[in-house]
Amino acid sequence: QSVLTQPPSVSGAPGQRVTISCTGSSSNIGAGYDVHWYQQLPGAAPRLLIFGNDNRPSGVPDRFSGSRSGTSASLAITGLQADDEADYYCQSYDSSPSGPVVFGGGTKLTVL
């Protein structure tokens, strides 16, 4: 049972827009702590996709965007491509004994 809640799976057709939600609580996202997102392609290590809620590291396409509001955050992917098929994880700091860092359970994105 992960501290941050993500849908187990989402799907979309090439070219479409999908969003992945990440729901937390008052000890993490709701307390104002930043949310970060990672992409894990099959057989590879995770890579940073979004940091500080809505910032992209260099090299990450602007098709990927993040937002945070209240106790939740979202990752949006526009212009879906076949190689976006991967697992996506959200992460945040947590001030409770569950911390200092907590992850979502991960969301499997399938490109139809």
The footprint of another protein (CB under 8 A) covers 2, 33-34, 36, 38, 40, 45-48, 51-52, 57, 89, 91-93, 97-106
Closest by alpha carbon to 81, among 9, 10, 15?
A: 15
CB of 13 to another protein, least distance (A): 26
CB of 98 to another protein, least distance (A): 7
CB nearer to another protein: pick between 12 and 46: 46
What are the structure tokens assigned to 48, written together? 């940073």
Beta-carbon contacts of 81 under 8 Å, excluding residues fewer than 6 positions away, are: 14, 63, 111
Q: What are phi and psi of 31, to 5 degrees?
A: -85, 0
CB nearer to another protein: pick between 16 and 55: 55
CB of 39 to another protein, least distance (A): 11
Q: How far apart are CA 110 and CA 25, in angstroms?
A: 28
